[in-house]
């Protein structure tokens, strides 16, 4: 038997109803914050991720699905392509490629699959879904302002609240700018020198190539060493400190609670200044429900104009996991099961189904070969609220038997009153 590839999975009903519920709600929230949707390709040139996310990150060095595409001719070596491991790089590439600043497009959101070759476990998959947003633009448009950071964080708090995710925790840090980073990297290198030989091989390499990435280490034995390393918060220059203070002030003013976590550096190189994660207690080991931050130099590093930005990505799989308990309430069940009884009744039932569905009634159709008992059993199994019986007598008289499947009560309803009758009865349930 051929099974879904390790780390990928089929999303089946009724869970898919929850995914749709989340996406509908999210789109609604994005709309009132004036974000518009962007859809970028799921694969890009490998260079895009290497240059933005960073060569030394786990994502680029270990987790990407990369292949050499075939060239156009036998002698033509193909391009190196990669399934997107995240979507910010693609959005910023599109921003530059289509000069989106000329069109005033500076608030964009996306929903779609991402791919990372991580070790699969609950809440961690090789194909997973992210819902993300980016605010990016020329500095003259205020894209560098701490007001943008606070606005995005407030949006996230609103979104999680509206979805009914109560016990989230916003962890906030500033990872500074290239100015501070040079001094900080130097301090980290110095602090690592005497201890790095006791750390894992990845950290030994990171200590030389990109010491900030030591904070991504998950090896338990390394954690006490990492805990004692200098923190970026002591190395922020004045503009970065002021920026961070202002973000916190606005969050306090609008009433979004947060905790400062100065170990939070996020696993992608492009972040500058504000970095954040929202965690959720019920998720266990993979408790980060979303992450994001500023990336003021990303556009320039990809050959674009100066375009400071900030964004986030919500792990949709984890969001749905956190919401699983409400799955029952968003599941779609038929309002009515139409049971055609006897030869020639399939056509009559089809006519009625068409009329009702055009009036937004959720209809499931039976088959004229079923006996009434089988029809009613099928209807109950599907969770239909009512059964509508369509036999020769009913067609002749123009009134149909509508049966409440939980009480067994039955009433005769004339054809032109059917929609209203079903609607009002479903509403009363």
Residue 298 within binding range of ligand AMP, rule CB under 6 A: no
**Is residue 165 at the binding interface for ligand AMP, with CB under 6 A as the rule?**
no
- Considering only residues 309 to 328 of the shown chain, the ones binding ligand AMP according to CB under 6 A are 313, 315, 317-318
* Extended strands (E) in 281-325: 288-294, 309-315
Least distance in Å: CB of 115 to ligand AMP?
A: 9
* 288 interacts with ligand AMP by CB under 6 A: yes
Which residues between 62 and 91 bind ligand AMP (CB under 6 A)? Answer: 86
H or E, element range at 210: none
Measured between alpha carbons, how far is residue 277 from residues 64, 68, 125, 273, 364 in Å? 22, 34, 19, 14, 44
Residue 291 main-chain phi, psi, to 5 deg: -150, 160
Indicate the helix (H) or strand (E) that contains 91. helix 88-97
Nearest to 33 by CA among 157, 140, 163, 172: 157
Q: What are phi and psi of 390, to 5 degrees?
A: -120, 90
Position among 289, 363, 402, 422 found at the interface with ligand AMP (CB under 6 A): 289
> In this chain, which of 291, 309, 334, 366 binds ligand AMP, going by CB under 6 A?
291
Phi then psi for 408, rounded to 5 degrees?
85, -5
Binding of ligand AMP by 118 (CB under 6 A): yes
Helices (H), 98-200: 146-163, 178-192
- As measured in angstroms, the least distance from the Cβ of 354 to ligand AMP is 42
222 binds ligand AMP (CB under 6 A): no
Find the shortest distance in angstroms from Cβ 316 to ligand AMP: 8
Measured from each CB, the residue nearest to ligand AMP is 315
Q: Which pair of structure tokens corresponds to residue 313?
A: 């990505």
Shortest distance, position 58 Cβ to ligand AMP, whole Å? 9
Contacts of 159 (CB under 8 A, 6+ apart): 25, 26, 29
- Beta strand 309-315 with 127-136: parallel, antiparallel or unpaired? antiparallel
Question: How many beta carbons lie within 10 A of that of residue 187, not counting itself?
Answer: 17
Stretch that binds ligand AMP, among 64-72, 123-131, 218-226, 238-246 (CB under 6 A): 123-131
The tokens for 276 are: 């954040």
Is residue 267 within the footprint of ligand AMP (CB under 6 A)?
yes
Question: Closest separation between CB of residue 59 and ligand AMP, Å?
Answer: 7
Cβ neighbours of residue 185 closer than 8 Å, sequence gap 6 or more: 211, 212
Q: Is residue 355 a contact partner of residue 419, using CB atoms and an 8 Å limit?
A: yes
Comparing CB distances to ligand AMP, the nearer of 312 and 400 is 312
Q: Measured from the CB atom, is 161 or 245 closer to ligand AMP?
A: 161
Closer of 60 and 389 to ligand AMP (Cβ): 60
Kindly determine how many residues on this chain lie close enough to bind ligand AMP according to the rule CB under 6 A. 17
Residue closer to ligand AMP by CB (options 275, 352) is 275
184 closest CA partner among 205, 203, 210: 210
The residue assigned the tokens 């009702």 is 356
Pattern 327-356, binding to ligand AMP, x per CB under 6 A?
Answer: ------------------------------
Tell me the closest approach of the beta carbon of residue 91 to ligand AMP, in angstroms.
Answer: 13
Which positions ≥6 away from 79 have C-beta within 8 Å?
A: 45, 68, 69
Residues 127 to 156: which contact ligand AMP by CB under 6 A?
128, 130
Pick 183 or 288: Cβ nearer ligand AMP: 288
Full 3-state SS string of 401-423: EEEECCCCCEEEEEHHHHHHHHH
The answer to whether residue 124 forms part of the interface with ligand AMP (CB under 6 A) is: yes
Paired tokens of 44 = 């890009």
In the complex, minimum distance from the CB of residue 121 to ligand AMP, in angstroms, rounded to a whole number: 9
Q: Which is nearer to ligand AMP, 295 or 337 (CB)?
A: 295
Q: CB–CB of 311/291 below 8 Å?
A: no
Stretch that binds ligand AMP, among 97-105, 117-125, 303-311, 406-414 (CB under 6 A): 117-125
Binding footprint of ligand AMP on the chain (CB under 6 A): 86, 116, 118, 123-125, 128, 130, 267, 288-291, 313, 315, 317-318
């Amino acid at each position: 038997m051929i099974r879904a590839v390790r780390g990928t999975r089929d999303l089946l009903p009724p869970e898919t109803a929850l995914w749709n519920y989340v996406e509908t709600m999210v789109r609604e929230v994005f709309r009132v914050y004036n974000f518009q949707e962007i859809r970028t390709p799921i694969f890009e040139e490998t260079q895009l991720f290497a240059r933005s996310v960073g060569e030394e990150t786990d994502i680029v060095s270990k987790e990407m699905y990369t292949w050499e595409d075939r060239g156009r001719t036998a002698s033509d070596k193909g391009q190196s392509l990669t399934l997107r491991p995240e979507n910010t790089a693609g959005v910023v590439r599109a921003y530059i490629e289509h000069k989106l600043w000329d069109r005033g497009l500076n608030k964009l959101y996306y929903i779609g699959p991402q791919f990372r070759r991580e070790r699969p476990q609950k809440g961690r998959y090789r194909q997973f879904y992210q819902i993300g947003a980016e605010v990016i633009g020329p500095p003259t448009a205020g894209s560098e302002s701490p007001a943008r950071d606070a606005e995005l964080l407030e949006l996230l708090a609103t979104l999680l609240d509206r979805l009914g995710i109560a016990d989230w925790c916003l962890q906030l840090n500033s990872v500074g700018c290239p100015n501070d980073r040079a001094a900080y990297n130097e301090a980290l290198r110095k602090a690592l020198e005497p201890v790095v030989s006791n750390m894992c091989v990845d950290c030994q390499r990171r200590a030389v190539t990109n010491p900030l990435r030591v904070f991504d280490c998950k090896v338990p034995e390394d954690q006490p060493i990492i805990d004692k390393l200098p923190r970026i918060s002591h190395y922020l220059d004045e503009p970065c400190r002021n920026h961070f203070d202002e973000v916190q002030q606005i969050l306090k003013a609008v009433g979004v609670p947060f905790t400062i976590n100065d170990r939070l550096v996020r696993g992608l190189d492009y972040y500058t200044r504000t970095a954040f994660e929202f965690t959720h207690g019920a998720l266990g080991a993979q408790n980060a429900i979303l992450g994001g931050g500023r990336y003021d130099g990303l556009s320039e590093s990809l050959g674009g104009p100066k375009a400071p930005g900030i964004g986030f990505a919500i792990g949709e799989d984890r969001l749905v996991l956190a919401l699983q308990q409400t799955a029952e309430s968003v599941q779609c069940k038929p309002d009515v099961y139409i049971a055609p009884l006897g030869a020639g009744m399939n056509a009559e039932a089809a006519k009625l189904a068409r009329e009702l569905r055009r009036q937004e009634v959720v209809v499931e159709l039976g088959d004229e070969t079923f006996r009434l008992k089988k029809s009613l059993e099928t209807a109950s199994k599907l969770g239909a609220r009512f059964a509508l019986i369509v036999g020769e007598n009913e067609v002749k008289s123009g009134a149909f038997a509508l049966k409440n499947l939980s009480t067994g009560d039955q009433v005769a309803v004339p054809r032109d009153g059917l929609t209203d009758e079903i609607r009002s009865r479903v509403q009363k349930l």
